[in-house]
Amino acid sequence: MTSTIETRLKDLGITIPESAAPAAAYLPFSQSGNLLFTSGQLPLKDSKLVSTGLVGRDLTIEQAQEAAKYCAINVLSQAKAALGGDLSRIKRIVKITVFVASVVDFTDQHIVANGGSQLFIDVLGDAGKHARSAVGMAGLPLNAPVEIEAVIEVA
């Protein structure tokens, strides 16, 4: 499956970055049995946020979906670090939680979340299909528009 994942990433033009170090007193990931839990991942590319602000004011849904995609890429980065560089150990994405910093009357958090969900499916195929929660927030760290955490079943 590693070659399949690597091929899909290459076909999508995605390079998994080095995993980001935690910005405070927490672990970037934690494993219990065959479940890997990632801390919330921001939409970072080259160590910088791809966008900032509130969805519905500063960003369109499409821009927020792109941010969610980068959050998902960073979830995979943490998984890769946790699994010794071997993404083929991912059996499936069990659940993700997507936090969307949005204006008070914005109600399309689930549509924003599709940016991350689709990335997991595009990269992992059926193993990328997952349960999901998508919630609106008044704000997120560093003024990020989206943050994603994941529960991943691993071998």
Backbone dihedral angles phi then psi of residue 77, each to the nearest 5 degrees: -60, -45
Average the pLDDT over 90-105 and give the result: 98
Domain 34-154 has CATH 3.30.1330.40: yes
Contact assessment for residue 146 and residue 71, using Cβ atoms and an 8 Å cutoff: yes
d(CA 17, CA 100): 23
CA 49-75-1 angle, 5° bins = 135
| Predicted structure pTM score | 0.96
**Structural domain boundaries of the chain?**
34-154
Tell me the torsion sign for CA atoms 142, 147, 151, 152: negative
pLDDT band at 4 (very low <50, low <70, confident <90, very high): confident
Q: What is the pLDDT of residues 15-30, one digit of tens each?
A: 999 998 888 899 999 9
* 54 token code pair: 């509130």
Q: What is the pLDDT of residues 104-117, one digit of tens each?
A: 999 999 999 999 99
